[in-house]
Amino acid sequence: MVRLPDRRRLTVLLGVFAALSLAGYLVIRTLAHPTMIDMVVYRFEGQAVLHGRDLYGAGVNVATAGGNQLPATYPPFAALLFAAISWIPVGVLKVLVTAANIALLALVVHLAAKLVGGWLDRPTFAERWALVAAIAGLGLWFEPVWTTLRYGQINLALIALVLFDLTRAPGSRWPRGLGIGLATGIKLTPGVFILWFLLAGRRREAAVSALSAIGTMAVGFVLLPHASVKFWLHKVFETDKVGKTYITDNQSLSGMIARITRIDDPKALWAVAAVVVLAAGLWVAAQNSKRGDDALGALTCAVTGLLISPISWSHHWVWAVPVAMFLAVRMPKAAVAWSAVFLSFLIWAVPHKVVGPSPDLNPLQMLLSSLYPLAGLAFLVWAWSESTRAQPVSASYRRSILAGTPPTTQ
């Protein structure tokens, strides 16, 4: 047998791992028969747009297997986009959305490698794509990614838009900030990046992202005026309609506080905690960006947004994959611990009660029920310690990351 050179052999092994991981995922997924219920909701929203039904009325609600009603919760602009898939049969759509999400995961890994830099973006072409495929293959088993695919969610598409923005070269034809504005128009949470741009002194990106987000609102008001008035004046404030705050699926500060205090919807306590974490997190993100470390700034901003959102379902934490890649370059041991949290599925070992009062959890269950926000807070603390470093990241390193070329020094 011909013995391959070490690097070539490693490339082959990475490719084999990616293929086996994908095959294993598809087998288990087939046996699990996922309903992809969120995809079904999106399809209903698109049909409501095409047939002139009340987008936020009871007629668009989709019942889950447990009897819960899932209403439309995204801005009207998102529903306009969902109209493009509303004519596709559910069975066919499941296959298409699953394939698209797997491809988007690979794209997210590729873009995250450009953002993070280091050894992740230095291999040759074949080695690089084998590495991207292998990381994506591992990412399939992160609970947030698994659940995103299980529900047919759009989280990976939103991250791809944000990362595409953040990895554009300064002279790119794609205006930096446009992707974040579009993502904000689809689902409001990416708007936290606009605040980061402002605090980091990146006024051009802030303006482009804010104007493009406003543009999506304008499109909604022109094409769906009734739905837009209803959403922006009423529905946007009804966070309780999205789901129960206290259930384990909600991996935000509000969910953690609700479970600790056994207050079903601790709005006042959450508001105080959210303001503190938002201010601290964005300040740390901006400080790291100002010292040239845009990767850490962006990821700190993303984690901050997940923490302060009233509802951050576990599948919203798909940012865990780019963060794991970043830590693999900067803090390998921390990357192992971080990945273990999101690969463990331990939050599913805790009761997932969706009706009645908050469940009575023992101390271990209480800890497991909030693994993601605890990991997020730990990441913010570490990001703060990095922001205090006397030696800033060099300007040449920052330019190389933005240009998508392999950096030589850091």
Residue type, 362: N
What is the secondary structure of 108-135 as a DSSP string?
HHHHHHHHH-GGGG-S-HHHHHHHHHHH
Q: Work out the average pLDDT over 376-386.
A: 95
Residue with tokens 């446009």, as numbered in its chain: 178
What average pLDDT does the segment 131-153 reach? 95
When pLDDT is averaged across residues 280-292 and rounded to a whole number, the result is 94
Entry pTM: 0.90
Task: Sketch the domain layout of the chain as residue ranges.
Answer: 15-403
Q: What is the mean pLDDT of the segment spanning 159-165? A: 95
Tally of residues, the chain: 410
pLDDT digits (tens, 9 = 90+) for 26-79: 999 999 888 898 999 899 899 888 888 888 776 565 655 555 667 778 999 999
Nearest to 89 by CA among 153, 137, 147, 43: 43
**What CA–CA distances, in Å, run from 48 to 124, 232, 344?**
48, 18, 38
How far, in Å, CA of 134 to CA of 13, rounded? Answer: 9
Q: How confident is the model at residue 240 (pLDDT cuts 50, 70, 90)?
A: low
pLDDT tens digits for range 313-359: 999 999 999 999 999 999 999 999 999 999 999 999 887 766 666 66
What end-to-end distance do the CA atoms of the chain give, in Å? 41
- Confidence (pLDDT) at 358: 66
pLDDT band (50, 70, 90) for residue 192: very high
Show the tokens assigned to 317. 């934490």
- Cβ atoms 143, 124 nearer than 8 A: no
387 falls in which pLDDT band (50, 70, 90)?
confident
State the Cα–Cα distance between residues 205 and 211, nearest whole angstrom: 10
Where does the pLDDT of residue 123 fall: very low under 50, low under 70, confident under 90, or very high at 90 and above?
A: low
Identify the weakest region by mean pLDDT among 88-102, 137-151, 241-255, 292-306.
241-255
Predicted confidence band at 300 (pLDDT cuts at 50, 70, 90)? Answer: very high
In this prediction, residue 127 carries a pLDDT of: 81
Residue percentage of the chain with pLDDT more than 90: 61
